[in-house]
Copies of this chain bind each other. A is one copy, B any other.
């Protein structure tokens, strides 16, 4: 007997138990499955729900009503969509469900959604390609100031060798409110973006550290003794300022456990929304630490309110930071972002103080679509002088 035939035999035997679960999923698929990304960049969603009265899909622009065929399969095809990663869910008679035929999901605070990528343009950076991959680690470090062991995500680029001698610069990349140390590597697609930009020679190989920015929490939901609880966005700001003050502990840990370039020229910090506010304050409070600063839809609130040119403390901190100005101080926000005016006030302040920065204004609002895009624009600017 040939080896190949024997392996088929084994497959049949071993599948006895495995196929129960596999078939559960297959039962709910139509031919070709759901979602299907069509050649014109539209998506066809489908779900078998013979007894349902109204089935809709949410997350791809307007809510779309699906229609039922004679076999009980509901489906709908969207308009052609811009290349991006889309999060979506079905509404079946008022019950929010994931796509039963799609095993790919992402969590945003307390809700899971199904995900799908429409390729092309920037979205090709969000897809995993056959390029050398960096390693991704969930790492616990000690925070004496916050009084706990805390978890962060660390990306080391392809070729990083802990026993080698090559040193790498470090980007600290911070999440927004309700997020955690998983946000940038999951919804943010940071790992694929880094792998792809580095492989294309468009970004320097770098270490990327994605800590948990919630000063009162140690780690993402389910990763601590608190058990399997439902996260709340408000938890993120329960200890205002504590995370920012603790930040040098993270830099110390990273510099002592990884082959870093342990100086200002080898460090960048960026974050979105709350994490943009964190990046803003941390870089202000540690003027010798970061040579590259990225504020993505940032909550630039000084002492919790807006910025004010009359604030002596802020003025002095900015003067200290810009005395040896960062190589890049990059502010990005969408025209429709609810933090747009706050960022405008801050830019006016920087202009009046003649402090140098770069500004990127995009369409859209306070969305992962923008934050992923900002990351693809920011990374190529780092550590190249």
Set of chain B residues within 8 Å of A356, measured between Cβ atoms: none
Q: Does A28 contact B (CB under 8 A)?
A: yes
Of the candidates B21, B130, B238, B304, the one whose C-beta lies within 8 Å of that of A111 is B21
With a cutoff of 8 Å between Cβ atoms, the chain B residues found around residue A6 in the complex are: 240, 303-305
Known: A222-B128, A303-B6. A177 touches B11 (CB 8 A): yes
Complex contact B133–A151 (CB within 8 A): yes
Does A82 lie at the interface of the complex (its beta carbon under 8 Å from any beta carbon of B)?
no
Given A51-B93, A140-B135, A162-B162, A11:B108 Cβ within 8 A:
no
| Interface segment, one of A60-68, A224-232, A279-287 | A224-232
* Given A7-B240, A97-B97, A100-B95, A128 contacting B227 (CB threshold 8 A): yes
Say if the beta carbon of A38 comes within 8 Å of chain B.
no
Known: A3-B241, A105-B105, A257-B161. A274 touches B135 (CB 8 A): no
- Do B103 and A230 have beta carbons less than 8 Å apart? yes
How distant is the Cα of A107 from the Cα of B98 in the complex, in angstroms?
14
- CA–CA, A13 to B340, complex, Å? 13
Q: Is A53 an interface residue (CB 8 A)?
A: yes
Of B225, B232, B256, the residue contacting A128 (CB under 8 A) is B225
Question: Taking the nearest CB of chain B, how far is it from the CB of A136, in angstroms?
Answer: 5
Cα distance A384–B312 in the bound complex, in angstroms: 63
Question: Restricting to A5-50, which residues have a CB under 8 Å from any CB of B?
Answer: 6-11, 13-19, 21-22, 24-28, 33, 47-50
A299 touches B14 (CB 8 A): yes
**Looking across the interface, which residue of chain B has its beta carbon closest to that of A6?**
B304
A266 at the interface (CB under 8 A from B): no
Chain A residues 350-385 with CB under 8 Å of chain B are: 365-367
What 1/0 flags go to A214-255 for Cβ under 8 Å of B? Answer: 000000011111011011111011101100000000000000
In the complex, chain A residues 165-222 whose Cβ is within 8 Å of any chain B Cβ? 176-178, 221-222
Across the interface, name the chain B residue whose C-beta is closest to A98.
Answer: B98
Give the distance to chain B from A345, nearest Cβ to Cβ, in Å: 14
- Which chain B residue has the least Cβ–Cβ distance from A12? B234
